[in-house]
Each structure stands twice: as structure tokens, then as C-alpha cells.
């Protein structure tokens, strides 16, 4: 009797695989290499940057999943494997002796920009099939799709073409045109005005160029989000859950046209998750559909889910999927009648959300996430209140977060405010996560689909006994509580637990800027801001230090009262434009003699200023000087106030008060104050004149208006920052330090006391 095993039927065949760098493609490649030794494989791999397709594939073969395969990369590429470098966007000619093609590649994101979804799932499929037809009609084409091409329908889904009358060509033309249309719309005055207004609220203090940069970044993000929104809306209008399933369904129509003349099989897995057994239990690459939700639940961040406990969630292990693909590959249908196979579990071994929840909760009860000082994460207790109730809870939380964010952004800076901002940002990220994933998964969570798998079951039953063990895809063998709690959850949580350990170690080291090199670096310099960085002071406070020296008790009270009335307006001005704010304050110096201000700074304020210096800041300045690096003070404070700091710095750049021919201050400045982008521009000019490499230099500042200064150097350090700069520093992983003034130093506005 002839050997009818899968291995025997595939022996000697030359098969092209696409998508081998992806999750399913890797698993299929490993299975065929391990279990079908006489098959010859061709892989389509695109180059990436300077790496060729073959170099990328060699690195792939070095992964743990392929360690049990006989032979190294060189021998495999010489005997069993051939790399064709190319991409689905431009498919190269394929080897003319192919017997079959398995197409695993494609966009697997549930919410891709609409043009990308069409390009990957429709255009790419069509381009590949055009190359396949050039070889001949004998090539067996196996297309890996998804069971969810069925769309938003309910009930029984047959292994057959999806019933719809969508005009593929019209939708394809529309979808591909959306990128240009949205790009054009993003540059309209109405859209740009709204985007720029948001950027100005966040970055106006840093300067116009910072606003412009942020505006363009936000415009690009708006384009992406709009393309995602458009694709989702069009998909739902035609009866699909999202752009992914919509474009996958249209891709199937392209495949069905090809099937009229060539043997064609369409494999439709449901939700693919980690391996049940091969290459080892729990093997998974990256996050798939359930992982983000499982991890969020384990960290106490998923309070509810919009599903019913008895709704079926159709999950299938990846090794079952690729085993079914191998069996399909070995059983080509006749031309003109494409074969369909649902690789799913709901029909013969259904898993409900209630069982899924119980298994995941039991795992985290036994193996909780540790959340630092807070101890074990507290697990939410799901009551499955339904999608409308979950949506109301999320909307209420989003509204409360917006109010809290508005308050925190305007609160005076302090350690407590920064900690509140950190917690608020963390909560904001959780809410964004919940919004995105609940929007994506809501349809899947309430879908009441039953995927018929009669063809798949018949295929499995027709295998020889040994093949049923080697190419196992019978869903009835899956013990769901065991698989979820003992196989899947440990596998998907392991990377996050490792990351938490790394983050804890990094947290113990964080807060300290990079040490200053012990050896001289003549091409590096250190730039320091003054107010709020070296010492706890501000422009209004230092003005009062000088002004109150010449006033008696009653006049002092009147001056303090007058300035207090101006503070709200000055604060608003400072948020809008720091340069205008400084000019407004420095008008108060009109009529003062500059030599008198210098004298007050030398005779009265010198000790007070030096006493207010943060000891850690002084040590840092001295470290830079000891390393041979020039120290530069760049401040918007007036020059008299910097006189006590002259011994610490090699150069001081400060605001110069304009005086008349008698040396009396006019209330204006001799030059524009160095704030925001002008400070960074001055640093670049000074660095060029003094042979300083800014990329090797250091910058220290405390305010969001100093952002250009910090971005101008290679080693930015944030000191006791305001909320906006604190958030930027956390996002960019800049070191943040707290340089506190000595605790015994008073916060007096009149350092000379009653002495006249």
C-alpha cells in the first residue's frame, strides 16, 4: 500500500512560504523543517535597512525555536532552503519549479490605516498570485486568512465563500486613495488651526519653533488616526468588525478568482494564541489578541470587560493552526473548487469568557504581579455588566482624568505635584489602553459566531495514526483551564516580569545624571540655568530682594501688596511668553541706578544667594570644572543677581538692563532676554566660537521653557521640573534630580532684614 502520510505526500515538493518572520510563519517553517525532511522550501523575505533578506533569515534560524532542527544555517540554506529577497509590495519572479505556495504574510493589526490594510491584504495577495500564475496552473496555493472574515453576522458560519456583494475594485481604489486625501485635509486651515492650538497650549513657553515641531508631529499622528478611523467606519458600514477583517475578506475574493483555474485552499484560523505543545508549550512571539488584556487584568488595570460570561471566545493554539496548514498543503483540491477550512475550537471544544476569566484569575491569584511598594496587584472582580455599562464607566473615568489633568498642569511645582502628575499620566495611559482595546475587541467580545469546522475535522480524521500525533489539530484534546493557567499565562507574563525586574534595577539607579568623566573633555561644556535650578528662586522673588532694600516697613507692605495683585496676570503672561513676562517684570527697575543694584548684590545679597545654592548643584558644577569642562551660566535673571555666582562659572550670560547716560535703568533691556529657543541659539553660537561639542555637553534646567536648551545638548538633566518638563523628561528618559536648597535657609523676601 502506498504511503499516504503527510510527509510522503510532501516529499520532494518545492514550496514557497511567505511571512516566515511572523508568528504563524515561523511556526510553520519549524514544523515543516522538523517533520518533513524531504520537503524543499523557498522563503520570501524582504531586506530591512542595510540587512539583506538572507541575513535576516539567517538570524531567524538562530532563534531558539529552530534549535532542534538538524543542520546549521549554512547547510540548511544549501540543501533545503532558498531565500528569495522581496516584498509583497513588489513581488520578484519566483522559482519556476514550485509545487505549492503558502501565503502567511499580511497585515495582522486589527486597526491599520485603511490604505495599509488594502495594500497588505489585497494588493499584496494579488501581486503574489500574479507571480504564481506565471509558473503555471498546477501550483497549489494555500491562503491563510481569518475566520472573522464572516463579519458582524451571528450564528453558524459555514466553510464556504463569505456572502457579500462588495465591489472589490471600487473599494480598493477608494482605500488606496485615502492617504493622499487625508494628507491634503490635514493641511487645511481648519485642521491645522485646531492642531496648532493644542501644540501652543503645551509648548508656547518653549518658543515658536518648538510649537511648529509639535504641530507637525501632531499633524502626522492626526493623519494616522484619521486613516484608522476611516477604515473602521467603512468596514462597519459594510458589515465587518474592523478594517482588518474587511480587507481580509476582500483579499479572499481575489483568491477565489484565482481558484477558478488552479488548486486553491483557504485556511481560516480563529484567534491564534500560544502553542499547546510544539515547538514547546507556551511558545509565542509578541503580543497577539488576548495578551494585552490578560496582562492588564493581572496588573489590576482592567476593571471590567464588555462581554457575557457565556459568550464563546474562539481561541486556537498556533501549533494546531500550522499543523492544519501542513495537512491542507498535502491535500490539494481540484481546480475550480476552492477548499475552505476553519481552524477553530468553538464547534467541538467551546471556551466561554466565564471559563477564561476564572482560569486567568486563578493564575494571578497564585502568581500575582508585584507592584513595587504597593505589593501584589489587586485583581478586579468582573461582574460582566454588559457593554453599555462598561462604556459608561470608561467615559466617566476619561472625563475625570481630563479635569484632574487640567488642574495638575497649572499647579505650582513641588515634589508632591510631580508625583501626582506621574500617577495621573500612568492612569491616562491605562485609560488610553482601555479605550483602544475595548473599542477594538468589543465586537469580538459580543460576537455570537459558530465556525463550522466539518472540513477541518474530516481532514484530521483522514490522517494516518502517526500523522494525527505529529500534525495534531484536534481541538477536543485542549484542557482549557490547564492550557490557560499552566501554559498560556506563564508564557505571556514571563517577558513582563523580566521587564519589571529590569525596571526596578533601573529605578534604583535612576535620578542621577551620567557621571562627569574624570579625564578632561575639552570639547564638552556644562550649561546651567539659575532660578529654580541652582537655587530655589524666581524672577519676582529676586526683584523683591533688590527692591525692598530701599523701602521702609510701610512702603515694603505697599510694594508687596502691589506685586501680589500683579501675580495672577504675570503668571498668565509667563505661561504664554516667558520673554514678555521678563520684560514686564524688569520694567519695575525703571529709575534704579545700575551701580546701586550691583552694590546691593555684592553687599547685601551675596551671602543670601550663596546660602540658597543647592549643595548638590555646587558639587556638580565643581565636578565639571575638575574634568576640564567649561561651566556656563545661561539665565534670564539680570546680571547684578549673578555676581555672587561668578567664582563658579567660566562664563555668565545674563539679562542686561538698559541704562541712560546717567547709568539709570530705563525699564527696558539692552538686548532680548535669552529664553526658550533664543537660549539654544546662543548656546550653538557660543559652542562654535569655543570649539565645544554640544552632543558631548551637559545642560541643567527646570522649566518647560528651557526645553530647547536641554534638547541642544547630548546630556540633558532636569532639575526639580515643572509638570510639562517632568512629563517630557519621563517620556524621553532624561535623568531628573532634586537639588534642594539647604533646609535652614529662610524664604525671606528681604535678606537684609531691618538693616538700612
- Which pLDDT tens digit goes with each residue over 225-256? 999 999 999 999 999 999 999 999 999 999 99
pLDDT tens by residue, 154-202: 888 999 999 999 999 999 999 999 999 999 999 999 999 999 999 988 8
Q: What's the mean per-residue pLDDT of the chain?
A: 86
Q: Find the mean pLDDT for residues 574-585.
A: 69
Tell me how many helices (H) and strands (E) the chain has: 29, 19
- Going by C-beta distance under 8 Å and a sequence separation of 6 or more, which residues neighbour residue 190? none
Look at residue 31 and tell me whether its pLDDT is greater than 80. Answer: yes
The band of 572, judged by pLDDT with boundaries at 50, 70 and 90, is: low
Best-predicted range by mean pLDDT among 69-83, 186-200, 286-300, 722-736?
A: 186-200
Q: Find the mean pLDDT for residues 619-629.
A: 91
352 vs 2, which has greater pLDDT? 352
Classified as helix, coil or strand, 142 is strand
| Cα 278 to Cα 284: distance, rounded to the nearest angstrom | 10
| Nearest residue to 227 (alpha-carbon basis) of 184, 168, 287, 164 | 184
Best-predicted range by mean pLDDT among 85-89, 306-310, 406-410, 482-486?
A: 482-486
445 vs 163, which has greater pLDDT? 163
Best-predicted range by mean pLDDT among 182-186, 384-388, 410-414?
A: 182-186
Structural contact between residues 418 and 411, judged by C-beta atoms closer than 8 angstroms: no
The band of 683, judged by pLDDT with boundaries at 50, 70 and 90, is: very high
Best-predicted range by mean pLDDT among 114-123, 489-498, 531-540, 705-714?
A: 114-123
The angle subtended at Cα 414 by Cα 410 and Cα 417, nearest 5°, is 55
Q: What is the pLDDT of residue 755?
A: 44
Q: How many CA atoms lie within 13 A of 99 on its CB side?
A: 14
Three-state secondary structure readout of 115-136: HHHHHHHHHHHHHHHHHHHHHC
- DSSP string covering 343-368: E-STTTS--BHHHHHHHHHHHHHHSP
The full set of domain ranges for the chain reads 1-166+238-270+314-347+452-478, 172-237, 286-311+350-447+479-509, 526-737
| Cα 16 to Cα 129: distance, rounded to the nearest angstrom | 12
Q: Find the mean pLDDT for residues 725-742.
A: 87
409 vs 283, which has greater pLDDT? 283
714 vs 448, which has greater pLDDT? 714
Q: What is the second-level CATH architecture of the domain 526-737?
A: 3-Layer(aba) Sandwich (3.40)
Domains 1-166+238-270+314-347+452-478 and 526-737 in one fold:
yes
Query: What are the start-end ranges of the H helices in 238-341?
Result: 243-258, 291-298, 318-329
Q: Find the mean pLDDT for residues 318-347.
A: 96
Structural fold of domain 1-166+238-270+314-347+452-478: Rossmann fold (3.40.50)
Look at residue 539 and tell me whether its pLDDT is greater than 80. Answer: no
- Going by C-beta distance under 8 Å and a sequence separation of 6 or more, which residues neighbour residue 634? 527, 528, 529, 653, 674, 679, 682, 683, 709
Residue 256's CB is within 10 A of a number of other CB atoms, namely 16
| Nearest residue to 459 (alpha-carbon basis) of 584, 330, 334, 547 | 330
| Nearest residue to 628 (alpha-carbon basis) of 513, 714, 521 | 521
Q: What is the pLDDT of residue 277?
A: 95
Q: What is the pLDDT of residue 727?
A: 87
Q: What is the pLDDT of residue 115?
A: 96
For residue 44, list its beta bridge partners.
18, 84
Q: Quickly tell me which residue has 517553517 as its cell.
A: 29
Out of 185-194, 495-504, 623-632, 682-691, pick the least confident.
495-504
Q: What is the pLDDT of residue 744?
A: 42
Amino acid at each position: 500500500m502506498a504511503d499516504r502520510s503527510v510527509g510522503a505526500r510532501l516529499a520532494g515538493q518545492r514550496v514557497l512560504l511567505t511571512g516566515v518572520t511572523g508568528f504563524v510563519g515561523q511556526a510553520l517553517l519549524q514544523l515543516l523543517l522538523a517533520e518533513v525532511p524531504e520537503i524543499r522550501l523557498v522563503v520570501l523575505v524582504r531586506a530591512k535597512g542595510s540587512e539583506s533578506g538572507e541575513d535576516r533569515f539567517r538570524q531567524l534560524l538562530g532563534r531558539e525555536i529552530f534549535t532542534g532542527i538538524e543542520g546549521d544555517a549554512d547547510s540548511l540554506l544549501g540543501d533545503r532552503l532558498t531565500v528569495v529577497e522581496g516584498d509583497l509590495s513588489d513581488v520578484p519572479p519566483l522559482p519556476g519549479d514550485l509545487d505549492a505556495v503558502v501565503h502567511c504574510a499580511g497585515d495582522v493589526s486589527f486597526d491599520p490605516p485603511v490604505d495599509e490594510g488594502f495594500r497588505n491584504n489585497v494588493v499584496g495577495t494579488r501581486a503574489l498570485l500574479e507571480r504564481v500564475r506565471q509558473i503555471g496552473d498546477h501550483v497549489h496555493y494555500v491562503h491563510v486568512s481569518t475566520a472573522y472574515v464572516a463579519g458582524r453576522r451571528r450564528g453558524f458560519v459555514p466553510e464556504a465563500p463569505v456572502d457579500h456583494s462588495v465591489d472589490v475594485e471600487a473599494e480598493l481604489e477608494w482605500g488606496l486613495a485615502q492617504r493622499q486625501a487625508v494628507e491634503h485635509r490635514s493641511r487645511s486651515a481648519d485642521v491645522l488651526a485646531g492642531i496648532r492650538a493644542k501644540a501652543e497650549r503645551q509648548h508656547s513657553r518653549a518658543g515658536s519653533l518648538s510649537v511648529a515641531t509639535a504641530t507637525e508631529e501632531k499633524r502626522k499622528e492626526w493623519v494616522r488616526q484619521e486613516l484608522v478611523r476611516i477604515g473602521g467606519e467603512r468596514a462597519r458600514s459594510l458589515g465587518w468588525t474592523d478594517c482588518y477583517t474587511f480587507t481580509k475578506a476582500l483579499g479572499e475574493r481575489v483568491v477565489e478568482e484565482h481558484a477558478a483555474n488552479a488548486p486553491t485552499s483557504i485556511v481560516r484560523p480563529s484567534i491564534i494564541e500560544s502553542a499547546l505543545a510544539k515547538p514547546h508549550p507556551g511558545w509565542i512571539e509578541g503580543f497577539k489578541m488576548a495578551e494585552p488584556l490578560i496582562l492588564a487584568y493581572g496588573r489590576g488595570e482592567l476593571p471590567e470587560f464588555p462581554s457575557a460570561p457565556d459568550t464563546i471566545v474562539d481561541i486556537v493554539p498556533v501549533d494546531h493552526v500550522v499543523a492544519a496548514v501542513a495537512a491542507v498543503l498535502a491535500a490539494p483540491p481540484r481546480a475550480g473548487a476552492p477548499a475552505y477550512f476553519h481552524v477553530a475550537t468553538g464547534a467541538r471544544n467551546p471556551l466561554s469568557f466565564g471559563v477564561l476569566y476564572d482560569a486567568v484569575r486563578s493564575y494571578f491569584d497564585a502568581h500575582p504581579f508585584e507592584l513595587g511598594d504597593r505589593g501584589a496587584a489587586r485583581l478586579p472582580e468582573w461582574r460582566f455588566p454588559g457593554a453599555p455599562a462598561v462604556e459608561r464607566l470608561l467615559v466617566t473615568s476619561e472625563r475625570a482624568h481630563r479635569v484632574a489633568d487640567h488642574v495638575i498642569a497649572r499647579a505650582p511645582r513641588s515634589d508632591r505635584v510631580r508625583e501626582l502628575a506621574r500617577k495621573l499620566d500612568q492612569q491616562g495611559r491605562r485609560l488610553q489602553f482601555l479605550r483602544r482595546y475595548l473599542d477594538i475587541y468589543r465586537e469580538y467580545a459580543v460576537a455570537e459566531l459558530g465556525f463550522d469546522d466539518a472540513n477541518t475535522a474530516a481532514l484530521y480524521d483522514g490522517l494516518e495514526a502517526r500523522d494525527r500525533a505529529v500534525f495534531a489539530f484536534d481541538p477536543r484534546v485542549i484542557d482549557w483551564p490547564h492550557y490557560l493557567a499552566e501554559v498560556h499565562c506563564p508564557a505571556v507574563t514571563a517577558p513582563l516580569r523580566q521587564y519589571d525586574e529590569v525596571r526596578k534595577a533601573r529605578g534604583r539607579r535612576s535620578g542621577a545624571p551620567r557621571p562627569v568623566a574624570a579625564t578632561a573633555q575639552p570639547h564638552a561644556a556644562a550649561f546651567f540655568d539659575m532660578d529654580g535650578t541652582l537655587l530655589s528662586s524666581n524672577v519676582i522673588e529676586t526683584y523683591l530682594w533688590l527692591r525692598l532694600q530701599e523701602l521702609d516697613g510701610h512702603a515694603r507692605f505697599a510694594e508687596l501688596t502691589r506685586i501680589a495683585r500683579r501675580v495672577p496676570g504675570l503668571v498668565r503672561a509667563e505661561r504664554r511668553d516667558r520673554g514678555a513676562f521678563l520684560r514686564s517684570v524688569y520694567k519695575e527697575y525703571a529709575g534704579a541706578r545700575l551701580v546701586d543694584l550691583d552694590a546691593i548684590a555684592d553687599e547685601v545679597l551675596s551671602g543670601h544667594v550663596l546660602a540658597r545654592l543647592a549643595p548638590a548643584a555646587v558639587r556638580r558644577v565643581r565636578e565639571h570644572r575638575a574634568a576640564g569642562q567649561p561651566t556656563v551660566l545661561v539665565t534670564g535673571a539680570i546680571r547684578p543677581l549673578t555676581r555672587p555666582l561668578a567664582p563658579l562659572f567660566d562664563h555668565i550670560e545674563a539679562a542686561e538692563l538698559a541704562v541712560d547716560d546717567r547709568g539709570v535703568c530705563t525699564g527696558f533691556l539692552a538686548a532680548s532676554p535669552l529664553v526658550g529657543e533664543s537660549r539654544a541659539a546662543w548656546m550653538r553660537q557660543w559652542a562654535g566660537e569655543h570649539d565645544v561639542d554640544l552632543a558631548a555637553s551637559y545642560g541643567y534646567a527646570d522649566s518647560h521653557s528651557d526645553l530647547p536648551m536641554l534638547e541642544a545638548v547630548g546630556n540633558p538633566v532636569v532639575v526639580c521640573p515643572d509638570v510639562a518638563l517632568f512629563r517630557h523628561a519621563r517620556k524621553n528618559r532624561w535623568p531628573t534630580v532634586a537639588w534642594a536648597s539647604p533646609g535652614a535657609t529662610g524664604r525671606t523676601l528681604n535678606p537684609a532684614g531691618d538693616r538700612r
